[in-house]
Amino acid sequence: MAGKAEKEHGEAGGRARGIDRLIQILEYLHEDGRPQRPNDIAVGIGAPKSSVYEIVNRLVDANFLEPFDREGRLFLGRKLHFLGAHYLETFDLLREADPTVAALSAETRETAQLCMCEGDKYVVALAHSGGRHFKISSDIGRPIPLTWTASGRLLVADRSENEIIDFIPPADFTLPDGKPLATRKFLSQIESARAEGFYSSDSVVDDYTHCFAAPVRDRDGACLATLCIVAPREEAKRRHDELRDSLLRHAATLTAKLGGGAKRRP
């Protein structure tokens, strides 16, 4: 589960099994983000065309993929939405969190998200855009280095310094602009996040947003996820305290709903 010795499946070498091809195809479309032809997919994942055509047809039959246009492009299918919705209903954290995220977004009129670790990366698990149609970032489920986000500081804050260094891939200490993030600096930011139970910073992914993050804890006090607000920098500065308070209040409510809130784990 942890992020160390991750066995690679879609590996090079001999022939691959259908299952792995299937997973590759879905993940590829998800990551690439745009509808593609079977041929493009084959090239994209480096698989034989004949195999991809064969599997893709089966996936269309099952509504895991869906025809997108008349040029033969395909994209993720409706069935995935159905399965995903079912997952949400069953998974306590997200089920409970969804109304909270919606309420926070409605109250602040900014984009609100629930973020989590996925392996050694950060992902947005839920998002509600604020009133303005600024285009919700909406990269739900797209993994990003933990180091790039305010939430990341909180998500790793339960670990010791050594564990953190061990946990985060060295490559992730390079920011999107190519500049390095000093380990020492990162650790001290984490220390501050841990102490405050809150962290906020300008996004390093874009040039115009500021992100506020607060931890959502289980009953052992472990940080399961972060609730966060993404706002234009202007707005974030002007309404800093208001947004922070709103965020902290909702995060506390959600933690309470989950039966959490105790201190640290034993």
Partner DNA sequence: TATGCCATTCCGCTATACTGGAATGATGGC
Partner DNA sequence: GCCATCATTCCAGTATAGCGGAATGGCATA
Residue (19 or 83) nearer to DNA, CB: 19
146 binds, among a second copy, DNA, none (CB under 5 to 8 A by kind): none
Shortest separation between residue 54's beta carbon and DNA, angstroms: 5
Please answer whether residues 216 and 115 qualify as being in contact, where contact means their C-beta atoms are separated by less than 8 angstroms: no
Residue (88 or 262) nearer to a second copy, CB: 88
Shortest separation between residue 40's beta carbon and a second copy, angstroms: 13
Shortest separation between residue 126's beta carbon and a second copy, angstroms: 9
Helix (H, G, I), strand (E, B) or coil at 214: strand
75 binds, among a second copy, DNA, none (CB under 5 to 8 A by kind): a second copy
Give the residues lining the site for DNA (CB under 7 A): 13-19, 21, 37-40, 47-51, 53-55, 57, 72
Report which secondary-structure segment, H or E, holds 164: helix 161-167
Query: Which of 187, 90, 76 is CA-nearest to residue 141?
Result: 76
170 binds, among DNA, a second copy, none (CB under 5 to 8 A by kind): none
Residue (142 or 239) nearer to a second copy, CB: 142
Residue (12 or 85) nearer to DNA, CB: 12
Residue (184 or 263) nearer to a second copy, CB: 263
- Amino acid in the structure at residue 230: V
48 binds, among DNA, a second copy, none (CB under 5 to 8 A by kind): DNA
Please answer whether residues 167 and 183 qualify as being in contact, where contact means their C-beta atoms are separated by less than 8 angstroms: no
Give the residues lining the site for a second copy (CB under 8 A): 7, 9, 17-20, 22-23, 26-27, 30, 33-35, 55, 58-59, 61-64, 66, 68-69, 75-91, 94, 118, 123, 125, 138, 140-142, 264, 266
Residue (43 or 102) nearer to a second copy, CB: 102
Shortest separation between residue 23's beta carbon and DNA, angstroms: 11
Sign of torsion over alpha carbons 179, 244, 191, 220: negative
How much is the CA Rg of the chain, to the nearest whole Å? 20
Query: Which of 67, 66, 65 is CA-nearest to residue 25?
Result: 65
Q: From edge to edge, which strands make up the β-sheet containing 209-217?
A: 144-145, 121-128, 111-118, 223-232, 209-217, 199-202
Shortest separation between residue 241's beta carbon and a second copy, angstroms: 29
- Please name the residues in contact with 229: beta carbons below 8 A apart, sequence gap of 6 or more: 104, 108, 110, 111, 112, 113, 211, 212, 243, 246, 247
Residue (74 or 193) nearer to a second copy, CB: 74
Shortest separation between residue 94's beta carbon and DNA, angstroms: 25
Measured CA distances, 223 to 157, 159, 201, 258 (Å): 8, 10, 19, 12
Distance CA 177, CA 83 (A): 37
Shortest separation between residue 95's beta carbon and a second copy, angstroms: 10
